[in-house]
Amino acid sequence: MGLRWRTRRWLALLVLVVGLPLYIIVAVTILNLLGRPHILVEMLIYIVLGVLWALPFKRLFLGIGQAEPEDERRAREKR
């Protein structure tokens, strides 16, 4: 059984607000420690890292921007 829609929504928000800035800080710090490569190589590295961070969270983000599913809304209204 997967996560409830509301739980996924909160986790996605946490990943975007906390996880992504931390990932950016770590990526920039590591790249600066290794020395600055040519600007085009550096840009390519940032593009690749920008795509790689989202791959583990792909299923978490699916459907988050849509309205809450009716099943959960009805179950909450019955309480």
Count of domains in the chain?
1
Residue 41 placed within a domain:
yes
Q: Is residue 12 part of a domain?
A: no
Sign of CA dihedral 28, 31, 34, 36: negative
Q: Please write the tens of the pLDDT for every residue from 21-70.
A: 999 999 999 999 988 889 999 999 999 999 999 899 888 888 888 877 77
In a domain, 51, yes or no: yes
Identify the residue with better confidence: 79 or 35. Answer: 35
Q: Is 25 a member of any domain?
A: yes
Q: Does residue 42 contact residue 36 with C-beta atoms inside 8 Å?
A: yes
pLDDT at position 73: 67
Q: Does 79 fall in a domain?
A: no
Question: Taking the alpha carbons of 50, 52, 53, 57 in that order, is the dihedral positive or negative?
Answer: positive
Domain of residue 37, residue span: 19-62
Q: Domain for residue 73, yes or no?
A: no
pTM for this structure?
Answer: 0.74
